[in-house]
Amino acid sequence: MLLRQLCTGTAMAAVLVVGFAPVSAIAQAAPSEWEQPEVVAVNREPMKATFFNYESRDLAVAGDMSASRYYQSLDGTWDFRFSKGVEARPKDLPTADTSGWDKIQVPGMIQAQGGGKFGLPEFYNIKYPFPMNEPYIPHDLIEVGLYKRSFDVSADWSGRDVFLHIGAAGAAYYIWVNGEKVGYSEDSKLPSEFNVTKFLKPGTNSIAIEVYRYADGSYLEDQDFWRLSGIERSVYLYAEPKARLRDYTVTAGLDKTYTDGTFALEAEFAGQAAKGEVTATLYDGDTAVLTTKSAIKGGKAATLKGTIKNVRTWSAETPNLYRLVIEYKDAKGKLISATSRKIGFRTVEIRNGEVQVNGKRIMIKGVNRHEHDPETYRVISEASMRKDIELMKSANVNALRTSHYPNDPRLYDLTDEYGLYIMDEANIE
């Protein structure tokens, strides 16, 4: 196992995000993106924190994306066609007539639907489900799922940039909108986002996704679990202002006496040059305990800092959380967007060979957890997550290892809420 991991890591060391090559180059090139370890995405947006920009402060605090007029879910029933191998798949997916196709639910695993018609789940522990020949996999073993559906775009979205969010799918997939190729992505446990503004048209639009069961990245995604493919987390569209908060990083620690909370926010903007200021407000319940502001520098970034005296610290025993509200306003003071999340203040250190949280030694009593449901496999509801966490807490478990990949973002919010330390893992084994 170790030797295989080292060899695979070497093969995948160089990672590039590239654009699609011209037609003439594609005709000469071999192999496809899903057989090139140096290619993990095409036209994919840079990775960022999980958050949503709302049009009002109240919506941001409520935290329900579906309430925003700039959000549109693509979850639900899609037209679907299953192919047992790469060469057997229809080559006309972007323009195909789907009147005779099957139906499938998104999110949902392909092999968990169709009563065996779409292949079967397979469990592998210490070996690959295909013969080793990195980075290649026999094409007849790579099942392909073809998804297609239509959607309408709201008139409210005119003048804004529209992005497609795919919460997790794989092992690899291509995307088309209105028959035009948008992009490609790998990594079945991380979200991908694509700017689809230029591909949209007024009225009814179509989207098609071609999902491959295995790809070169499958040599890394060799966890000991049930092997399935499909779109396992939510798919949606969202519309952003031309100058938008693209990403942010929060640091919430303690001073040297473990008494006061130290807060820092790094905000990054994208699109047109952003003008105006960013305000960060922290609430303890309904009481604002810190407000800090900063002008946006160079149209691209802002840094905010502050201190909360006698902060209520976060730990597995005392999971105290503060509500953070981030507001972006233009030069005239008009709100452009707002977002919100809960954060906890804590400091983790290793001292004298001990792991300490907030200056106190802790005993880690942890468990491994796979994202697995007995019926839906990798599609996990929030109710299921809560049930798992409540069972852990009732057994005095205080730590969770996301064996062996990034989990659904909702899980991290819940572990903050209930009080669990997280050992977060990359999608590599």
Q: Are 217 and 11 in contact (CB under 8 A)?
A: no
Check pLDDT > 60 for residue 23: no
Read off the tokens for 285. Answer: 């319940």
How far is Cα 100 from Cα 81, in angstroms, rounded to an integer? 9
Q: Are 349 and 360 in contact (CB under 8 A)?
A: no
How far is Cα 154 from Cα 177, in angstroms, rounded to an integer? 16
Check pLDDT > 90 for residue 343: yes
N-term to C-term CA, the chain: 9
HSE of 107, CA atoms in CB hemisphere, 13 A: 22
Check pLDDT > 50 for residue 10: no
Single pTM value for the model = 0.91
Q: What is the pLDDT of residue 1?
A: 34
Q: What would the pLDDT profile of 86-117 be if each residue is shown by its tens digit?
A: 999 999 999 999 999 999 999 999 999 999 99
Q: What mean pLDDT value characterizes the chain?
A: 93
Q: What is the pLDDT of residue 24?
A: 45
126 — pLDDT class (breaks 50, 70, 90) = confident
Q: What is the pLDDT of residue 31?
A: 82
Check pLDDT > 80 for residue 30: no
Check pLDDT > 60 for residue 403: yes
Average pLDDT over residues 38-63: 98
Q: What is the pLDDT of residue 329?
A: 98
Least confident among 3-17, 26-40, 290-304: 3-17
Q: What would the pLDDT profile of 131-190 be if each residue is shown by its tens digit?
A: 999 999 999 999 999 999 999 999 999 999 999 999 999 999 999 999 999 999 999 999
Domains of the chain: 34-46+70-240 (2.60.120.260), 243-347 (2.60.40.10), 363-423 (3.40.50.10660)
Average pLDDT over residues 325-333: 97
Q: What is the pLDDT of residue 7?
A: 36
Task: Work out the percent of the chain whose per-residue pLDDT is above 70.
Answer: 93
Q: What is the pLDDT of residue 14?
A: 38
DSSP letters, 157-218, are: GTTSEEEEEE-SEESEEEEEETTEEEEEEE-TTS-EEEE-GGG--SSEEEEEEEEES--GGG
Q: What is the pLDDT of residue 129?
A: 95
How far is Cα 105 from Cα 175, in angstroms, rounded to an integer? 18
Q: What is the pLDDT of residue 413?
A: 98
Least confident among 26-30, 54-58, 103-107, 255-259: 26-30
Average pLDDT over residues 412-429: 97
Q: What is the pLDDT of residue 192?
A: 98
Q: What would the pLDDT profile of 192-212 be if each residue is shown by its tens digit?
A: 999 999 999 989 999 999 999
Select from 206, 79, 212, 92 the least CA-distant residue to 145.
212
DSSP letters, 81-137, are: EEESSTTTS-S-GGG---TT-EEEEESEEGGGSGGGTT---EEESSS-SS---TT--
Average pLDDT over residues 291-320: 98
CA separation (Å) from 160 to 175, 200, 311, 387? Answer: 21, 12, 40, 40
Q: What is the pLDDT of residue 3?
A: 33
Check pLDDT > 70 for residue 70: yes
Average pLDDT over residues 51-65: 98
Average pLDDT over residues 273-283: 97
